[in-house]
Amino acid sequence: MKSIKYYSSLPLLLFFCLSSCWENGPIEPGSNGERSDIFENIPTRVPIAPHQIDEVSGIVESLNLEGYLWTHEDAGDATKLFLVSKDGKQIRGYVPGDITNRDWEDIAIGAGPVEGISYLYLGDIGNNDANPTVTSNFIYRMPELKSIDGSFDPASISKITFRYPDGPRDAETLLFDPVTKDLFVVSKEFNKTNLYRIPYPQSVDGVITAELIGLIPSVLIATGGDIAADGKEIVVKTYAAIYYWRRKEGETIGQTLLQSSLKTLPYELEPQGEAICFDKEMGGYYTLSERRTASQVTLNYYKRK
């Protein structure tokens, strides 16, 4: 997000979000073989050197490159994707063809149209103030690199163009369902949070009208999210809280997210935290923030207990 100036009541917002956190107590690990939904309260922190990726907006762990995460900015060096090593010591930038960055706000990873290929889904979905002139949004789908010395092939990058059925929206959350390959966009609004679906297979010809699934309760001003690699857990993040859902057997993503979250997960406030993802082994989750006026930010990992 390029600015949060249009949210002038940020302290009130933080109070609201944190208050909602206190309403939900912890859920103890189940006895039915499911993963625990208890995570460490204090994250492992890795320093990120300033002036390299100061405007981070999305993050996801690489499926091909062990020990790396993909991230991107919505300003700054805005035409690159970045690989960040988990120890924070390496940050490498890659230009994904000749695509432009109107407002890249989130990134997802998973399967796609060709079997056996890991794809990145880059969401150019931001629209500050829901500008009425922005009538179309884009999700760029590209095969993930297989080597840190590789480069993106412009011919392999597809552009999924979509519009909302109910007018322009600002959004910073892109979700990929590994079960159905559907894409979901979560709107970023002060008074509600809409969930939209772009079903698989996503056409790259013409403009898709996304399906409005409904309202996500209790979440306001969503800044990022992720679905676990097996599709069973979902997180949606705001500036002040991380909301958590467990998907029941046979449920769609829409059926899950239109229910109240099961709980909020541990989260230590960041300068302007927008990015979140599960790790690919589903052993925990990462968060990363824009630097704003802080001297430095950290890559944070909350391990599952």
Domains of the chain: 10-303 (2.120.10)
What is the pTM for the complete model shown? Answer: 0.90
Whether the CB-CB separation of 252 and 175 falls below 8 Å is answered with no
CA-nearest of 54, 68, 188, 66 to 128 is: 188
Q: How far is CA 68 from CA 59, 71, 196, 234, in A?
A: 11, 10, 29, 21
pLDDT in tens, the chain (305 residues): 554 443 444 434 444 444 444 344 444 444 346 899 999 999 999 999 999 999 999 999 999 999 999 999 986 557 899 999 999 999 999 999 889 999 999 999 999 999 999 999 999 999 987 888 999 999 999 999 999 999 999 999 999 999 999 999 999 999 999 999 999 999 999 999 999 999 999 999 999 999 999 999 999 999 999 999 999 999 999 999 999 999 999 999 999 999 999 999 999 999 999 999 999 999 999 999 999 999 999 999 999 99
Q: How far is CA 59 from CA 89, 147, 213, in A?
A: 17, 18, 25
Helices and strands: H and E segment counts in the chain:
2, 21
Q: With 0-12 CB in 10 A as exposed, 13-18 as middle and 19+ as buried, what is 103? A: buried
